Structure 1
Amino acid sequence: MSGYQQQLEERKGSSLFRKRKIRSCDTQWQLDFSTNDYLGLSQHSGIKRAFKQAVDIWGVGSTGSPLLSGYSGIHQELEELLADWLGKPRALLFNSGFAANHGVLTTLLDKQQRLFADKLVHASIIDGMQHGEARFKRYPHNQPLPIVSKAIAGDWLVTEGVFSMDGDACDLNQLACLKQEHMIKIMLDDAHGIGAYGTEGKGSLTHASSVADVVTGTFGKALGVGGAFVCAGDDEVESLIQFCRDYIYSTAMPPAQAAAIKASVEIVRSSEGDERRGRLNERIQYFRDELKQRDLKTIDSGSAIQTWLFDSDEDALNMATQLQTHGYLCSVIRPPTVPWGSSRIRFSLTSEMPLSELSTFWDTVDRVRSRL
């Protein structure tokens, strides 16, 4: 039996065996807490209209890699819009956030450099570090000192703006001080911040655009579409175009997708985007208050990602299963995705969740807890 077959057999017999959930247009949930559609833009009529119109012009696919036939005028327009929005010289499109993070870390760093990374960075960053040439060390979550105090000019630090599993934010002020003192470069993965927070939806860059030298993010969360980007300086972006295998050897995203993303960015930057972020913040505060009122074990987070921690995998699974029978789609996150002993139900909130439905949800939680 090969190594992967042995691992598979072991996984099948454990509580960690993963199962895909089949999503159907006919499935109706009271509330879907598993979505990353923080602003509810995946169903926005203007974005869908932009997608359909671009399909009529360009077709459904890009037909090639971006260095051959796959790069169109709408791709260029989107990149220019992103650079302007986030205050960086250039932007580059990728098919996924995983490819963007992996591509940056395997392309822009060499064996002469060191990389310091938060302990809770995304799997794509971990793979990028492991596959890249730079030596790397990981520091305790949100505690870069004293490890990064040993950094020298040319070293890199990589972190998330809003952490995907805990929902808390990095300390950008501390990173700014480290950057100034040690002359390091900072890479910020703001997949869960872009669009959802800040002025014009700039996320973590709202008050710290100069802190991050390289910014990565996705269009599949607050922007409601799919794909990803890198925003950085001229040399960094041009190097990715010339040498990044994740970029060069992938078919470009369809022009219609780029058109939909462009429409989404324009909405996110508008007064409508402000209104949606306001509604989202109202729901975040309500949810936090309900968690605190019941004295449930959680992680302090001001983002759309809220957590309910459990003492065991079984307890988390049991509660999620009970809630699903009442029409609430809740995701259980277990090791190895999160550290052992921190299994949780991870709630993703959106601006479009009715407050009345959230109130009903907590009434259901109370009834279920009273029976367990």
Structure 2
Amino acid sequence: MFSGLAEQLRVREQQGLRRIRQIVDSPQASHVTVGGRDYLAFSSNDYLGLANHPALIQAVCEGAQRYGVGAGASHLVNGHSAAHHQFEEAAAAFTGFPQALLFSTGYMANTGVVTALAGRDDAVFADKLNHASLNDAAMLSRAKFVRYPHLNLVVLEKRLAATQARRKLIISDAVFSMEGDIAPIPQLIALCERYDAMLLLDDAHGFGVLGRQGRGSLHLPPAPAVHSPRVVYMATLGKAAGVFGAFVAAQPDVIETLIQSARSYIYTTATPPSLSHALLTSLQLIGQDEWRRELLAQHIVQLKQGLQALPWKLLPSDTPIQPLLIGASVDAMRVSQVLRERGILVPAIRPPTVPQGTARLRISLSAAHQPQDIARLIDALHELATPS
């Protein structure tokens, strides 16, 4: 058995697919310390620069003083703190839904929603570039798993029209984590109305960044789509919100169904209450600090303009996720490694996370970056692309 595992690992190494953890010695920021060396980092989902914000640090300390460290039990036994409940109410109000439910992670939230809302006699329809957690959730549900080409709503509609499933659930990223593009949310909701389906929208990379006051992808112009009762909205809290966890917002009957049936909610210890206490402050910062989103928008324009002449092309994205398409996994790893040697961290994303032949650098921009940081990355990439 062990020789077989070793051979698999050797092959993975040869194909440039081996993943290696790096130990970060500093707080998350635009500049981090890894292994005793300082780096300029474009590798974090801390889009608003809140992960090390003094107000959140203070709020965590206050929460620990008030609620202790651990929750001690699952939400349905004795672990549902007043801090958890206050955050759920605040998250629902912030996103415009009647109710919200706190989960430990986005992965657990997606698993809980899909398996609670779909089963053997049902069908789940999924964009082919959805996050792995949505795909895994669909397979765990034992519903018929129907995938459609990325953003191809013509094919999705044909498959909706052909199904005889009892219940239909469309699942989609709002902002696709490795592409940076945005799902056509109003059109997805229209299909739900036409074919009596529900929509689970994973807004892990849109919450805090997109929409009015950072309220998420459902609040993008021309008109908010949040009012459809068919939408089940999931947002994570360890990216733009700067803390940890996730929540699901939906109609009361959906939330109550999750409380009663979502196994990833029922059978796990609740998150530390101090984190929910800090998240109340995070919501305030997200709503009031419009300058952070304005600065992000400036960074995106600067990067796009600066990389236009490269042989590698940025994929179409107006979000802080800016994927630079390289092609072969070994080439993407080489570029990432050379940048690292120059003190710049940009992760190489390879199969199976992305399709074969589409390995890329995933450049993540943050409001914590400065224009000179963006310029340094642009200059380094141009030097790498220029034949010596």
Q: 2:216 aligns with which of 203, 214, 217?
A: 203
Q: Which residue of 2 aligns with 1:238?
A: 256
Q: 1:328 aligns with which of 334, 344, 355?
A: 344
For 2:259 and 2:20, locate their aligned partners in 1 and report how far apart those are by CA, in whole Å.
36
Deviation at 1:240, TM superposition (A): 1.2
For 2:267 and 2:255, locate their aligned partners in 1 and report how far apart those are by CA, in whole Å.
16
> Which residue type is aligned with residue 322 of structure 1?
V
- Indicate the SS of the match to 1:225: coil
Q: Identity of aligned pairs, percent?
A: 37
Maintained 8 Å contact 2:303/2:378 = no
Q: 1:368/1:6 Cα in 2 relative to 1: closer, same or farther (>3 Å)?
A: closer
Q: How much is the aligned-residue C-alpha RMSD, in angstroms?
A: 1.8
Maintained 8 Å contact 2:312/2:326 = no
In the TM superposition, 1:314-353 aligns within 5 A as 314-353=330-369
For 1:38 and 1:128, locate their aligned partners in 2 and report how far apart those are by CA, in whole Å.
26
Q: 1:134/1:264 Cα in 2 relative to 1: closer, same or farther (>3 Å)?
A: same
For 1:288 and 1:317, locate their aligned partners in 2 and report how far apart those are by CA, in whole Å.
22
- Indicate the SS of the match to 2:85: helix
Q: 1:98 aligns with which of 104, 107, 129?
A: 107
Deviation at 1:6, TM superposition (A): 6.0
Asked whether 1:268 is paired with 2:286, we answer yes
Q: Which residue of 1 aligns with 2:130?
A: 121
In the TM superposition, 1:68-107 aligns within 5 A as 68-107=77-116
For 2:14 and 2:379, locate their aligned partners in 1 and report how far apart those are by CA, in whole Å.
35
Asked whether 1:224 is paired with 2:247, we answer no
Q: Which residue of 1 aligns with 2:379?
A: 363
Maintained 8 Å contact 1:31/1:353 = no
Q: Which residue of 1 aligns with 2:29?
A: none
For 2:197 and 2:5, locate their aligned partners in 1 and report how far apart those are by CA, in whole Å.
39
Q: Deviation string for 1:71-121 (max 9, x for gaps)? A: 111100000001111111211111111000011111111222211110000
In the TM superposition, 1:168-207 aligns within 5 A as 168-206=181-219, 207=224
Deviation at 1:232, TM superposition (A): 1.1
TM-score normalised to structure 2 length: 0.91
Q: Deviation string for 1:225-256 (max 9, x for gaps)? A: 11111111111111111121111111100010
For 1:160 and 1:191, locate their aligned partners in 2 and report how far apart those are by CA, in whole Å.
8
Deviation at 1:36, TM superposition (A): 0.3
- Indicate the SS of the match to 2:271: coil
Deviation at 1:280, TM superposition (A): 0.7
- Indicate the SS of the match to 1:195: coil
Q: Which residue of 2 aligns with 1:297?
A: 313
For 1:40 and 1:328, locate their aligned partners in 2 and report how far apart those are by CA, in whole Å.
18
> Which residue type is aligned with residue 55 of structure 1?
A
For 1:240 and 1:322, locate their aligned partners in 2 and report how far apart those are by CA, in whole Å.
47
Q: 1:56/1:313 Cα in 2 relative to 1: closer, same or farther (>3 Å)?
A: same
Maintained 8 Å contact 1:316/1:332 = yes
Asked whether 1:161 is paired with 2:174, we answer yes
Q: Which residue of 2 aligns with 1:31?
A: 40
In the TM superposition, 1:304-315 aligns within 5 A as 304-315=320-331
Q: Deviation string for 1:268-314 (max 9, x for gaps)? A: 111x2x11111111101111122224353221000000011113112
> Which residue type is aligned with residue 131 of structure 1?
L
For 2:386 and 2:12, locate their aligned partners in 1 and report how far apart those are by CA, in whole Å.
33
Deviation at 1:181, TM superposition (A): 1.9
For 2:5 and 2:235, locate their aligned partners in 1 and report how far apart those are by CA, in whole Å.
32
Maintained 8 Å contact 2:185/2:218 = no
Maintained 8 Å contact 2:125/2:169 = yes
For 2:180 and 2:201, locate their aligned partners in 1 and report how far apart those are by CA, in whole Å.
15
Q: Deviation string for 1:180-216 (max 9, x for gaps)? A: 3222111100000000111021121102113561011
Maintained 8 Å contact 2:16/2:333 = no
Deviation at 1:370, TM superposition (A): 2.5
Maintained 8 Å contact 2:177/2:321 = yes
In the TM superposition, 1:108-147 aligns within 5 A as 108-147=117-156
Maintained 8 Å contact 1:149/1:182 = no
- Indicate the SS of the match to 1:117: strand
Name the count of aligned residue pairs.
Answer: 370
Deviation at 1:9, TM superposition (A): 5.3
Q: Which residue of 1 aligns with 2:30?
A: none
Deviation at 1:15, TM superposition (A): 1.9
TM-score normalised to structure 1 length: 0.95
For 2:186 and 2:265, locate their aligned partners in 1 and report how far apart those are by CA, in whole Å.
32
Gaps of 5+ in 1: none
